[in-house]
Every structure is written in C-alpha cells, then in structure tokens.
Amino acid sequence: MNSEKKERREAQLAKKAETIKAYASDVQMESETQLLIDGHPYVIEKNFRNGFDVEKLKERFSQILTKYDYIVGDWGYDQLRLHGFYAADSKKGFPSQSIDHMQDYLLEYCNFGCAYFVLHNLDVTKPVRKSKKHQNRNNNKKKNIDSDTKTVRRKPRETERKKKPYTSEKKFEIRERNNRKENVAVSTIKRNNTRKRHFVIRQKNEQKDSKA
C-alpha cells in the first residue's frame, strides 16, 4: 500500500511539474542584473538576501505583470509572491500602487526581514484601448437589444388581454321576504299576553269573593 501511494504521489508531482513547465515564462539572463522575460528587458535593481531565483520566477511570472513599471518578488513560507507597482511619476492606479509605497507594502503584507527583489520593467506594455467606432458599434448593439427586449415584453401583455374569455354579467332575482315567521311570532306573543292578563284578573276576582 505504501509503495502504491508513493507511486501515485510521484505521478501527481510529475504531472504538476509538466503543467508548470508548459505555462512557465521564458527567462534568460543577459548578465548578473539584466534579463529577458518572454523577450522583454528587465533590470534587477535590488536583490535583498539573495531573494532572486530564476526557476521560481519562471513558474510564478504572469503576463498581467507586464503593465507595471516595477515588479517586487517577496518570499514567505518557501513561496514566491510577485506584486506590481507603477512608477513614481505615473498617473496610473492608486497611490498605494506607486513604487514610493513599496516599503509600506513590505512592512504590512510581507514577513519581517524576508528576502525580496525588485525588477525594473524597461518595456512596459500599454493596454490596448478600443476605438470609438468599436465602442459606438457596441452601444448600438446594446440599444437594439434593449429595444427588442422591450417589444418582446409588451407582446405577452397584449396576447393575455386577447386570450381573456368574455364573461357575461350574472343577474339575480330579488324575492320578497316571507313574513310568515314574523306573523307567527307576533301572534304567539299576543296570546301569551292575553293569557297573563286573564290570569291576573282571576286573582282579583278571588280576593273580592273572599272579602264578601
């Protein structure tokens, strides 16, 4: 079992190494301080505690870093991290992305006293901006799409109105109330009242007879 796990682990590491090698950048040293990364010239301006490592730079470098004037590589837990900065006189990015704030970055985000290096990009690639014609075309497409969606949304409402069935008005006949119950109730009350009165009269007659 241990040998199988070891073989699987070695196979995974070999596969990982192949993928890293496939996506790795081409780094060529021209001198001790000058190098080419994917054909673009760079200069090592600072190499604190021998933090510069060519092989790790090949693995970690990304094309998104080519837009920065400076690249700082710092070490933490045996891992190389790359961070881009703009020139001091550049108007790009935020103030924290200026090379003047590199020391603040090292103190706040890096391990204390860690090894690091600074690369100066001599051939900054400018991001390609879209032409106005291309932007106008995209805006026109968006307007057409919005207008189409509006018309599509209105159609179902019209169809729903058409689909609604015709409902005829229901007529109800109003009948007069039957007053039989009320008449019965009144008659019973009258009868009860007459009975009570008749009962009271009998009591008075009996008293007169007893006195006589």
What CATH number is given to the structural domain containing 51?
Answer: 3.50.4.20
pLDDT computed for residue 185 by the predictor:
47
Q: For the chain, which residues score pLDDT lower than 70? A: 1, 13-23, 127-212
Tell me the whole-structure pTM to 2 decimals: 0.54
β-strand pairing of 34-37 with 27-29: antiparallel
Q: What is the pLDDT of residues 158-185, one digit of tens each?
A: 555 555 555 555 566 666 555 555 444 4
Examine residue 114 and state whether it is found in any structural domain, yes or no.
Answer: yes
As for how many domains the chain has, the answer is 1
Residue 3 lies in a domain: no
Domain that holds residue 47: 8-121
The reply to whether 158 falls in a domain is no
Residue 112 lies in a domain: yes
- Look at residue 175 and tell me if it is in a domain: no
Q: Is residue 99 part of a domain?
A: yes
Check if the beta carbon of residue 41 is closer than 8 Å to that of residue 123: yes
Are 133 and 123 spatial neighbours (Cβ–Cβ below 8 Å)? no
